[in-house]
Structure 1
Amino acid sequence: MIKILKMTQDGFDHYMLSAIKNYANEKVNNGTWESKDALSNSKKQYALLLPDGLQTANHYFYSIFNKEEKIGYIWLAKDDENKQSAFIYDFEIYEEFQNLGFGSKTLDLVADKAKELGFSFLGLHVFGSNSRALHVYKKMGFQITDINMRKEL
């Protein structure tokens, strides 16, 4: 049985250790940042988004559990551009639990949680290279709202 529970401070601290590095790597792999600046850029982005860490207003962090085993995490927040919308900043089902339907079930739980919090919409960003996630999000009813593209010269 899948459930989402508020992330603990220890869970948040552990999450931050990998999140900053993973985000930097994604930005480099997708050609947005140069590798020499990526870690610094990522730290700056997280510091701006989360000035009070886990206690930052309008940011919601959840650990995802299957029964009693932690299988991932999800972070959503009030969208700065549309106050009726929650935005998923980060979402991961750990690799050994992928392709078992946990991602879809988690998105359903998060949609319910977003409604409880008073939101009418749920948005997210997915890197163009992440075709597997893009497929899941489309399957779950997310629609593309804008697309950034680039061409290597």
Structure 2
Amino acid sequence: MSGLIRLTPMNAEQYERFEQRSLADFAEDKIRAGTWTEEEAPQRAKESFAHLLPQRLDTPHAHLYMIEYSGSAGQNPEEAGYIWFNITEKTQGKEAFLLDILVYDSFQGKGLGTLTMKALEQEARKLGAVRIGLHVFGHNERALHVYRKTGYRITDIQMSKEL
């Protein structure tokens, strides 16, 4: 993988695009996981966002970044995706929790997921976090691969079977 990525704080216009895309993707993931019906998913996704990001981009403890990618030194960076994590105080210290990450389709397969997870670690450390947690849907094999590759281990498994 050649090239560099950088996490830059989202601006208001980027947040609007992030929210629209993230809401739709979250609703779809919940439908695929069998957690929500197609009818209820859009509203429930909006309710989740209202709870997790009550002040949207200005929500305390919420960190929303655009992923910028430069294929080579001197190349102008391109917007390649986004990442959202929150930092909360836990018994062992501050913990970052990854809520959403997306590398746009046109940048897939270039190692940007791995580089972004490494950038997340650096950013979380700067913010005082001693641990990073995340949730991944079982059907998201690509994300599972990236998380395992970057050193994450399974801490809890929830399973179901259709009857």
The TM tier, using the shorter chain, reads over 0.9
Match in the other structure for 1:108: 118
Counterpart Cα distance in 2 of 1:21 and 1:30? 14
Which one has a larger percent strand, Structure 1 or Structure 2? Answer: 2
Unaligned runs of 5+ in 2: 71-76
Match in the other structure for 1:45: 48
Unaligned runs of 5+ in 1: none
Regions of 4+ moved over 3 Å = 79-83
Q: What secondary structure sits across from 2:81 in the alignment?
A: strand
Match in the other structure for 1:133: 143
CA RMSD of aligned residues (A): 1.2
Q: What secondary structure sits across from 1:84 in the alignment?
A: strand
Counterpart Cα distance in 1 of 2:134 and 2:154? 10
Match in the other structure for 2:103: 93
Q: Of the candidates 49, 57, 61, which is equivalent to residue 58 of structure 1?
A: 61
Match in the other structure for 1:121: 131
What is the identity, as a one-letter code, of the residue corresponding to 1:53?
Answer: R
Q: What secondary structure sits across from 1:36 in the alignment?
A: coil
Which one has a larger percent helix, Structure 1 or Structure 2? Answer: 1
TM-score (norm 1): 0.96
Q: Of the candidates 65, 72, 81, which is equivalent to residue 72 of structure 1?
A: 81
Deviation for aligned residue 1:117: 0.1
What is the identity, as a one-letter code, of the residue corresponding to 1:73?
Answer: Y
Count of residues in correspondence between the two structures: 153
Counterpart Cα distance in 2 of 1:122 and 1:37? 30
Which segment is superposed worse, 136-145 or 12-21? 12-21
Counterpart Cα distance in 2 of 1:19 and 1:132? 17
